[in-house]
Amino acid sequence: MCGITGFIQWNGDLTQDSQLLVQMTESLSHRGPDAYGTWISNPCAFGHRRLSVIDPENGAQPMIVHRDEDVYAIVYNGELYNAAELTAELLQRGHQFRTHCDTEVLLVSYIEWGPDCLDRLNGIFAFAIWDSVQEQVFFARDRVGVKPLFYSHIDGTLIFGSEPKSLLQHPKVEPIVGPEGLAEIFIVGPARTPGHGVYRDISELRPGHAMIFNRRGLRNYTYWKLESHEHEDNVEATAAKLRELLQDTMERQLISDVPVCSLLSGGLDSSALTALAVDFYRRSGQGNLHTYSVDYVDNDKHFKSHAFQPGADAPWIKRMVDELGTQHHSMEIDTPELIAALNASTIARDLPGMADVDSSLYLFCREIKKDATVAISGEAADEIFGGYPWFHRDDMLNSGTFPWSVAPDMRASLLSPEIKDWISPLTYLGDRYSEAVNEVPTLQGETGKQAQMRVMSYLNITRFMPTLLDRKDRMSMGAGLEVRVPFCDHRLVQYVWNIPWAIKMTGDREKGILRKALEGVLPEDVLYRKKSPYPKTHNPDFLSAVKNQVLSILDDPSSPLLPLIDTVKIRELASSPDASTNLPWFGQLMSGPQLFAYLGQVDHWLRTYNVSIR
């Protein structure tokens, strides 16, 4: 995993901008602490920061390949999980390789097949390739959007990077946020509409999309999307297929020249991946797998079971460690350090994010990084298999909006009247929701519950899952840790997409078909444990601290947040204990305390990035 950045400008001498390229590249040093490289050759300026995982000695970037007079150059962030197969095919076609690095495999794949190489890739990636033959730069992002890529097209110059911070180093890209960006922050956030970069001049290359930039301009197109068709496998065949896909995916993703560990919460998803990894390590003679878990100081004293978080994780983590014999490491986060990391997590995202859900992951990854470079995580299983409560509650299924954010009126009421009039938050949200629903690839003749659940699945895969993938990428790479997400394998996502809801609910349980596929892999009590999300702090000191932080901001007349919010409403909220603790603000984990923390993050972001609202 790495950080990539650069710019393409058809006129002028880019060698005069070498220091600018260095600045842009250095802004991503956290993503690649192991190596650094830049390359300027008109019209391209490419920068790269490297986290060495495969062939550490020979995989330096930007990587340049000369074929007679032709020149190809690449900057790439990601991993190819079918590099061995691609290498074998390319060798048969007469190509030779100087390294064992997947960067070279990707570049040679492009040289052989051009943009059609994307159809052959299995992996997570974002990259840019200069092609002197076609006089173009080719960009692409992986099918599900695990790896990020942002860009700005301004005055004929294309500027790109793994994170907005690298683009904001370029003088043509200013930290300006308009009405659309504010609507993203206050009514959609901490989610983000695909393709939107929040900053006025920054866009995101969407998952499954590619771009070609040449002298004629910029062309953006879709190369992969979910396809709907009849599912022909019965329950037994579906479970067998799922187990086969998971096994293959895990074995591909455990390949690395540096140690791989696993994040273990004791839940179904992380336990399954850990068990598969342990089995692979034993069969391949690689010794004990290291596992990591996170909790909070005194959480056992303050935890209260509720619909979204029915049970504590600690006993189940111990159960799996004892079962699998992993080398386990547990981390406890205390409230003061959790609060202190809120600002760091905001900088890691370049935007306000999921409050302490972000900052805790940032601290967790920083701790793991002391011993490991690559980790396996269970993201995306709930989105693709239907594990969240909103898949199963009629009030949330029929809410008419994104089910992880079912209080839009309350959210809109927190804005100042002037901002509310300017950005029309409820209209904006309604438009984004309708846009998402209209994208759903329907299946002819499908009606009733199955059609409803297809829409719900699409919303989760394309709108909620990217929020968690953004979080995982920024917080882990903010610590220089690569995290792989096997449930995001596009073959698995596409297969599960068409499994009928009745089969997904095998045994009348959420994610029932996944549980059935994992019979024999996990102990039965773990296999049928009720879902519990990523752990959060239940310490009342956290609420008290973030509430006081927001009250201090409200007392500061220089705060850039004040003109954007209804300060009277926020003060009322802070004085109401029920609203503070039981507010249905965002997702499963974010209620009143997270709303206050988010407002603090917005204030810090506006100040630190010197954001101009216009």
The residues annotated as belonging to the active site are 2
If one counts every other C-beta atom within 10 angstroms of the C-beta of residue 340, the result is: 12
3-class SS at 122? coil
Six-digit token string for 95: 């190509």
Radius of gyration of the chain (CA): 24
- Whether residue 514 contacts residue 268, with contact meaning beta carbons closer than 8 Å, is answered with yes
What is the C-alpha separation between 483 and 1, in angstroms, rounded? 9
If one counts every other C-beta atom within 10 angstroms of the C-beta of residue 427, the result is: 11
Closest CA to 106 of 92, 123, 93, 94: 123
What is the C-alpha separation between 116 and 114, in angstroms, rounded? 5
Residue whose structure tokens are 């719900």 = 456
What values do phi and psi take at 265, rounded to 5? Answer: -105, -10
What values do phi and psi take at 139, rounded to 5? Answer: -115, 145
End-to-end CA distance of the chain: 36
Q: 79 to each of 83, 99, 240, 275, 484, how far by Cα in Å?
A: 9, 15, 27, 22, 9
Closest CA to 413 of 296, 297, 573: 573
What is the C-alpha separation between 210 and 143, in angstroms, rounded? 10
* The three-state (H, E, C) secondary structure of 427-483, written as one string: HHHHHHHHHHHHHCCCCCCCCHHHHHHHHHHHHHHHHHHHHHHHHHHHHHHCCCCEE
DSSP string computed for 24-80: HHHTTGGG-BSEEEEEEETTEEEEEEE---SSTTT--SSEEEEETTEEEEEEEEEEE
Residue whose structure tokens are 């988010």 = 598
Closest CA to 59 of 78, 40, 86, 84: 78
- Whether residue 56 contacts residue 6, with contact meaning beta carbons closer than 8 Å, is answered with no
Measured on CA atoms in the order 249, 252, 253, 254, is the torsion positive or negative?
Answer: positive
What is the C-alpha separation between 144 and 124, in angstroms, rounded? 8
What is the C-alpha separation between 39 and 76, in angstroms, rounded? 13
